[in-house]
Amino acid sequence: MKNVGLVFSFEFKAILRKKSFLITSLILCLIVVAVIIVPSLLSKNTQTSFSSLSVGDYVITSEDGTNQDELTKSIAGGGFVLETDDLEKFSTLSVFETKYATETDLIIALENDEISYGVVFQSANSYKFLVNGQKNELADQIINQSLLQYNRENYFSSQGINHELIDDIYGLNINSENIDISEQGPGNFLYSMAYTFIMYMMIILYGSTVSTSVAREKDNRTMEVLIANTKADYLIVGKTLAAGLAGLLQIILLIAVALTTIQISGQNVMELLTELQFNLNLTTIIATVFFGVAGYISYLFIYAALGAMVSKIEDINYAVTPITLLFVGAYFITFTGIQAPHNPIFKFASYFPLTSVLAMPVRSSLLNIDSIEIIVSAIIMLISIVIFSIIAIRIYRLGSLNYGNRMKFIKTIKMIIKGEGN
């Protein structure tokens, strides 16, 4: 274990000192900050929405508490044309500042920036909303809803009906909530998406890093020096664990940056998590940690072994393509499972060791599954780690002695079965 620790320490420090690691971490942090800050800034500049209108006295109730003056100001400065006499009363609203005789006059005024938008009322239930480059969706929506309300009130009045009673009737709401007792909650959907994406990026990125590192050592003959000073077993275990820890630290850094940025941007992290409605029990958290770490290490061992099978770094892409495609398949199965968690293929994937790294934590977060299922899948994962690590170590041993053509996977497995990798 001492030798493994030495290799681990050396490799881990080497990864942290690499410019590529530092630059990648910086770029990813900047991307995280931008993803959080930009939407927040855009949302602040978005026009205010509204919930109710009354044409008679022009009362506006906004959804976010914005007062009437702010909303009125946002739709002021418009001109209009009446092509019907049915809307004389409607056109007297204060928001319509200027009346024009024809649509042509309205367009000229709009082109000369005399008005911010124009409305051509063709009939009581039809109008054209004109702008000159700069959209004003709020004004269009308010005019639309106001005209609709105006027509309703006129109709009710002509029929001798009190429109306020009609408004009361339409204002009644029936609250219903659909609950599937087999599912944990809608908030875990976002959690599952985030976990799947993070694990996918970690395994693809650091799996390639490990395999490339091993292949480079063979390509420049560094492995000969390393093998002469320590066993191949210690090298591959130390290198794999070092790369794995570096990946975890990078993800922790990104999460910390994300939470800090959210807090600095004026949002309360705890309130945000509450709004997301995460419903994570202890079993789900344990499953996420175990399968995330165990599956991550399993794939790193596989990538390291595949890197040892090539003699030239140019061949590394050919060597890792099969396992990369398999993991991409696991990603798509899990992504599909998020949409349909009762899918039998998704359930099988939660037991298969090369896909359970994604499938089981996601499935346990979406469904109320029996703990025995998680335990069985965890045992399979532990067994697979032992098998994958043994195979990886023996492939690494054989690869350290092979500097010819790229080793064939099937042929290499046969050699290991015969005991040549011992």
What is 231-280 written as a DSSP string?
Answer: -HHHHHHHHHHHHHHHHHHHHHHHHHHHHHHHHHTT--HHHHHHHHT---
The answer for residues whose C-beta is within 8 angstroms of residue 158's C-beta and 6 or more apart is none
Query: Strand, helix or coil at 122?
Result: strand
Q: What digits encode the pLDDT tens for the residues 285-338?
A: 898 999 999 999 889 888 888 887 777 777 788 888 888 999 999 999 998 988
Q: What digits encode the pLDDT tens for the residues 339-363?
A: 888 889 999 999 998 999 999 999 9
Same domain, 28 and 117: no
Lowest average pLDDT, out of 58-62, 193-197, 287-291, 370-374, goes to 58-62
Domain assignment present for residue 347? The answer is: yes
Taking the C-alpha atoms of residue 241 and residue 5, their distance in angstroms, rounded to an integer, is 10
Same domain, 255 and 330: yes
Domain that holds residue 155: 50-164
pLDDT computed for residue 327 by the predictor: 92
Lowest average pLDDT, out of 31-45, 245-259, 263-277, 354-368, goes to 263-277
Instruction: Tally the domains of the chain.
Output: 2
Q: What digits encode the pLDDT tens for the residues 256-283?
A: 888 888 778 776 666 666 665 566 778 8
Same domain, 292 and 262: yes
Taking the C-alpha atoms of residue 306 and residue 316, their distance in angstroms, rounded to an integer, is 8
Domain assignment present for residue 356? The answer is: yes
pLDDT computed for residue 64 by the predictor: 46
Q: Which of 385, 380, 363 is nearest to 299 (CA)?
A: 385
Whose tokens are 């609250």? That residue is 175
Same domain, 409 and 278: yes
The answer for residues whose C-beta is within 8 angstroms of residue 220's C-beta and 6 or more apart is none
Lowest average pLDDT, out of 198-212, 219-233, 356-370, goes to 219-233
Domain assignment present for residue 216? The answer is: yes
Q: Which CATH number covers residue 75?
A: 3.40.190
Domain assignment present for residue 279? The answer is: yes
* Plot region of 340 (φ>0 → left; ψ -120 to 50 → alpha; else → beta): beta
Domain assignment present for residue 269? The answer is: yes
| pLDDT higher than threshold 70 for residue 152 | yes
Same domain, 250 and 306: yes
pLDDT computed for residue 240 by the predictor: 82
26-35, 347-356, 413-422 — most confident range: 347-356
pLDDT computed for residue 211 by the predictor: 84
The answer for residues whose C-beta is within 8 angstroms of residue 153's C-beta and 6 or more apart is 55, 56, 163
- What is the percent of the chain with per-residue pLDDT over 90, rounded to a whole number? 12
| pLDDT higher than threshold 90 for residue 375 | yes
Check: CB of residue 381 under 8 Å from CB of residue 358: no
- Is residue 187 very low, low, confident or very high in pLDDT (cuts 50, 70, 90)? low
pLDDT computed for residue 55 by the predictor: 36
Same domain, 19 and 142: no
* Plot region of 113 (φ>0 → left; ψ -120 to 50 → alpha; else → beta): left
Check: CB of residue 294 under 8 Å from CB of residue 357: yes
The answer for residues whose C-beta is within 8 angstroms of residue 91's C-beta and 6 or more apart is 80, 82, 99, 121
Same domain, 89 and 234: no
pTM across the whole model: 0.64
pLDDT computed for residue 418 by the predictor: 67
Same domain, 253 and 356: yes
pLDDT computed for residue 333 by the predictor: 93
Of the two residues 25 and 230, the one the predictor is more confident about is 25
Whose tokens are 């398999």? That residue is 326
H helix or E strand, kind and range, residue 15: helix 2-17
Domain assignment present for residue 67? The answer is: yes
Domain assignment present for residue 42? The answer is: no
Q: Which long-range contacts (CB under 8 A, 24 or more apart) does 366-371 make?
A: 366/183, 366/184, 366/188, 366/189, 366/192, 366/337, 366/338, 366/341, 367/182, 367/183, 367/184, 367/341, 367/342, 368/181, 368/182, 368/183, 368/184, 371/283
Taking the C-alpha atoms of residue 168 and residue 55, their distance in angstroms, rounded to an integer, is 16
Q: What digits encode the pLDDT tens for the residues 78-130?
A: 888 888 777 766 655 545 667 888 999 989 988 898 888 888 888 878 888 88
Check: CB of residue 208 under 8 Å from CB of residue 216: no
pLDDT computed for residue 281 by the predictor: 79
Domain assignment present for residue 233? The answer is: yes
Could you count the other beta carbons within 10 Å of the beta carbon of residue 323?
Answer: 19
Q: How far is CA 405 from CA 200, 302, 309, 323, 420, in A?
A: 31, 20, 9, 20, 18
Same domain, 18 and 104: no
H helix or E strand, kind and range, residue 80: strand 78-82
pLDDT computed for residue 48 by the predictor: 39
- What is the percent of the chain with per-residue pLDDT over 70, rounded to a whole number? 70
Same domain, 212 and 334: yes
Same domain, 154 and 7: no
Whose tokens are 């892409």? That residue is 317
Which neighbouring-strand residues pair with 54?
A: 59
Which neighbouring-strand residues pair with 316?
A: none
Same domain, 248 and 337: yes
Q: How many CA atoms lie within 13 A of 117 on its CB side?
A: 20
